[in-house]
Structure 1
Amino acid sequence: MSASLPSSVAPAQLECPKCNASIGYFDTKNSTFFVCPTCRTFFEYENEGPPRIINGFKQVLVENPTLLLGTVGTLLGESYLVVGFILKREVRYPAQWIEYMLLDQATGAYVQLAVFEGHWMFVEPVQGSYQVGLPTSRRAYVFTNDTNYALYNRYQQQVLYAMGEFDWNILDDEKLNISEFIAPPYMLVQERNPRTKKSEWYKATYLEPDTIQAAFNLEPQRMPWREGVGAIQPAPGEASWPALSQFSLVMALVIVVTQALFLFVKPQQQLLSQQFSSQALTDTNAAAAAVAGSNNVIVTPSFEVQGPAALEFDLRSSLSNQWLEIPVSLVNEKTGQSYEFTKNLEFYSGVEGGESWSEGSQSDDATLAGIPSGRYHLNIYPATEAGLDLPIDLTVTQNTPLHSNAILFLLLLAIYPGIQLYRRYTHEQTRWLNSDYGPQEAAE
């Protein structure tokens, strides 16, 4: 097979005990198990006596592996040689994955590259062991170095096919009970032998496909397509998320504190609160109206403004299937300068088809900003349907906190973190859909 042709020359050769084909291998010190690339015979040879045939793999690969035997790559600062390839599947489910055996050319140590649906993991053995919390529970976990690893999968495996050389009987892997605990981008893997009750531990680290591609100088079309969310694939923006979330919280706190300081430095002050009639005029208003030159104007009492200030006007009326137009003019009694606005109140309601409905509002508000210091009064020119006499409640306040501005800033500040938070949430939901031990399973 072309997949078995090494890109570097193997230093040692041996003969297949079944088809007599010549087999090259690299680790002359430790490799004792081999797969013939010609007849797919799996056998053991320990440099003494005849080779011992163990089994033969019937599976035929549809396409060549991504990493060919004998390929050399620099990964995580170390030079590795690809010496083995194993195709595995879970016993209960049809999920299949590939494990590449990598030989560290400097130390002679072995590590693995595992790939499932285009997601790559760098797997290396761990000295010692870990304590599993709630080991018989669906919420089993491993806690180490201030990191909690949650149970993600438990399974037994079947070896479907292999190529290359190995320092252990790869079929013994089928006897192991595997438990995977994740804390993305890391995974702890427990391989437990049910007969001896002993466990071996491995730690996996997620690697981006372009890291693998660069390490082994692969053409893009050689890389397997990445599907879905990997078991330990980092969430979107994982590297920047802590800084982004901290920055957003700090800025939100600044906005809230700034709003509170404005309230403290310039506390809200009520300048006027009074009820008027849209038709009837008091004696005071009638006299003021005469001065203003109109019998339709309501002139309010005078009030002082400590400026420059923002004034908020709150207008209300007990409308019922009626409308009311309220032009308002704020007049500086010393300079005669005026500031105008108009509000239209209308409120209608009824019952149609057995269902009640309503539209409009009985209240509205307006804000005039940058009003200079001085003595002011209001001229109000209410207009409504002929003959109607509607009450008008008017309140004028100075330095009213513009909560809408603070809310707007907070909303703008939350847009990008909110998008990232949603992407991270859906990422996690998708990750755990591939597990029988996810939060959604525990809740059922």
Structure 2
Amino acid sequence: MHYICPVCKTENTIDADFEISEYVCKSCSNLIDISKNISAKVVKKPVESVVLEVGQKGIIDGTDYTVTGIIIRKYGSTVFWREYYLKDKKGGNAFLSESDGHWVFLHVINAMDVKKKLNDKVAEFHMKNYRWYETTQCTIHAAAGFFEDSLNFSISNYKEYVNGTQMISQEQSGSNTEFFFGKHISKYKVKKAFNILSLPNYSGIGIVQPFYVNVTQAINILAVSALIICLIQLYVVGTRTNALVFEQEINFADVADKEMVSKSFELSGGSAPLNVEVSSNVDNSWANVGLGLVNEKNNEIVFASKDIEQYHGYEDGENWSEGSQRESFNFCGVAPGNYHFVISAERQEPLKTSQPAKYISPDGNLSISREENGTVSVTNQSTFETTSFGDAKMIKKDSVSTLGQLVHKILGKADIDSLLNANAQAESISATSENKSVKIKAEWLPVSFRNFAFVLLFLIALVLGLYFGRRAFERSKWFNSSNSPYTYS
């Protein structure tokens, strides 16, 4: 169809077959009354975030549509939204409404199919209840295209009822009232349907915008996942057992300044942690064990090192202790196969000390004592004169001092070390005990409830997150409604 504007003589065409009452000239923006072929008024051109053009074609849900008209409606002085009039090939009407980047796809419905309840706060359509959201007064701000009915530029009332992603919209212009059924449509679907390069970005939450995730489907998927995980864990528990795969005692002397290659052992089943326990008879000392786990198939090696420390003592009237003679660690995620260890170990060397001893001459005039650090003290029991020497040999070399002469006089050529050793005390002979070896045990742990529990807790947390997330989303959606089911502080 084509029409010549009586004002500017511009030809206006539309590839659609329907009865037109008015059109807006694309050149001079005059609203032309078809029956009289005169201008009714000049209207503004729709320019605010308009992304479709009159005559543009697109496919929505398998139906071909042509954009026949565009109207921008205005609420207050700053709020605008866009309505695109669509016609299919059979002459059926549809509408796309866009506000703040949120799109709704609407069709006209019979007013008799809509029932009002609870003082018009609930509308029923096809056995489903829709809650009243808001009533908005608006006017036509701008228009373009071809229209079956005359445009009403007076104030119109829009009353909207919402149920999830669907809505019932009641439009009242003067004495004329129409009802529309609408549902959310993704902007990406609109973009694909009409081959649009760009669309307005989202702002806020749309009146029928769905939650970001389909909660029902997500919970069903998570429930099935949890069931599968439980069945797998049940199978693992029933078919596999934790097993001791390696145990050996290593002498520190055998690995001094070198490494030892252990015997091979096999790990069978799925990937799992390999728990290693190392122990040594440390006492106020330390030891260190280095292990390299070697995969005999590809010679890949994973290294680990562990310190074993144990200290104790007495201080400020209290006994204290720290550390342990036993430590453990894991090689995580070890795949099945044949393995061996490359072992290195070292320890704190024990402190060598002399055996405490004391010798008193038969006449009681001379005493000789040896401390743990090897120092030898000589005392004249008559005068209580005392001299310390580094060792017994130094005493024999002293023939000048009074004590030295006294030692030579009483002991003569006797061996002082032999005299002291013969009278040795029974106390400890070293400051630290001598730990000679380290024990290494490795246990294969294919059965683990830890990861199983973590996964289930994660799934439960996801379900709770989805539940409370959707609730917060719905609260935000209804925040501007006069009939919100939520309370706000």
Q: Same fold (TM over 0.5)?
A: yes
The letter for the 1-side match of 2:467 is L
Q: 2:18–2:148: 8 Å Cα contact kept in structure 1?
A: no
Structure 2 match to 1:31: 20
SS at match of 1:170: coil
Whether 1:216 aligns to 2:194 is yes
Distance 1:25 1:252, change over 3 A: closer
Q: 2:30 aligns with which of 11, 30, 41?
A: 41
Distance 1:64 1:51, change over 3 A: farther
Q: Show structure 2 runs of 5+ residues with no match.
A: 231-317, 328-448
SS at match of 1:102: strand
Structure 1 match to 2:168: 188
SS at match of 1:108: coil
Q: 1:203 aligns with which of 167, 172, 181?
A: 181
Whether 1:100 aligns to 2:84 is yes
TM-score by length of 2: 0.50
Distance 1:179 1:71, change over 3 A: same
Structure 2 match to 1:230: 206
Structure 2 match to 1:177: 157
**CA deviation after TM superposition for structure 1 residue 252, in Å:** 8.3
**Structure 2 matches for 1:271-290, cutoff 5 A?**
none
**CA deviation after TM superposition for structure 1 residue 27, in Å:** 4.2
SS at match of 1:439: coil
Structure 2 match to 1:55: 41
Distance 1:434 1:73, change over 3 A: same
The letter for the 2-side match of 1:12 is H
Q: 2:218 aligns with which of 237, 241, 244?
A: 244
State how many pairs are aligned.
285
Structure 2 match to 1:304: none
Whose Rg is larger?
Answer: 2
Whether 1:111 aligns to 2:100 is no
**CA deviation after TM superposition for structure 1 residue 434, in Å:** 3.6
- Tell me the distance in 2 between the aligned counterparts of 1:27 and 1:120: 24
- Tell me the distance in 2 between the aligned counterparts of 1:22 and 1:64: 26
Q: 1:12–1:28: 8 Å Cα contact kept in structure 2?
A: no
Q: 2:73–2:82: 8 Å Cα contact kept in structure 1?
A: yes
- Tell me the distance in 2 between the aligned counterparts of 1:167 and 1:130: 24
**CA deviation after TM superposition for structure 1 residue 405, in Å:** 10
- Tell me the distance in 2 between the aligned counterparts of 1:205 and 1:231: 10
**CA deviation after TM superposition for structure 1 residue 119, in Å:** 1.1
SS at match of 2:114: coil
- Tell me the distance in 1 between the aligned counterparts of 2:195 and 2:228: 49
**CA deviation after TM superposition for structure 1 residue 104, in Å:** 0.4
**CA deviation after TM superposition for structure 1 residue 168, in Å:** 0.9
- Tell me the distance in 1 between the aligned counterparts of 2:123 and 2:37: 42
The letter for the 2-side match of 1:30 is E
**CA deviation after TM superposition for structure 1 residue 28, in Å:** 5.2
**CA deviation after TM superposition for structure 1 residue 412, in Å:** 2.7
Distance 1:69 1:255, change over 3 A: closer
**CA deviation after TM superposition for structure 1 residue 190, in Å:** 1.2
**CA deviation after TM superposition for structure 1 residue 143, in Å:** 3.0
Whether 1:13 aligns to 2:59 is no
**Structure 2 matches for 1:1-400, cutoff 5 A?**
11-16=1-6, 18-27=7-16, 29-46=18-35, 50-57=36-43, 59=44, 61-62=46-47, 65-90=50-75, 92=76, 94-105=78-89, 107-127=90-110, 128-135=112-119, 140-171=121-152, 174-192=154-172, 196=175, 199-219=177-197, 221=198, 223-238=199-214, 241-246=215-220
Percent identity (aligned): 22
Distance 1:53 1:419, change over 3 A: same
Q: 1:236–1:423: 8 Å Cα contact kept in structure 2?
A: no
Distance 1:415 1:131, change over 3 A: same
Q: 2:165–2:209: 8 Å Cα contact kept in structure 1?
A: yes
**CA deviation after TM superposition for structure 1 residue 204, in Å:** 0.8
TM-score by length of 1: 0.55
**CA deviation after TM superposition for structure 1 residue 73, in Å:** 0.9
- Tell me the distance in 1 between the aligned counterparts of 2:162 and 2:206: 11
Structure 1 match to 2:457: 411
Distance 1:324 1:208, change over 3 A: farther
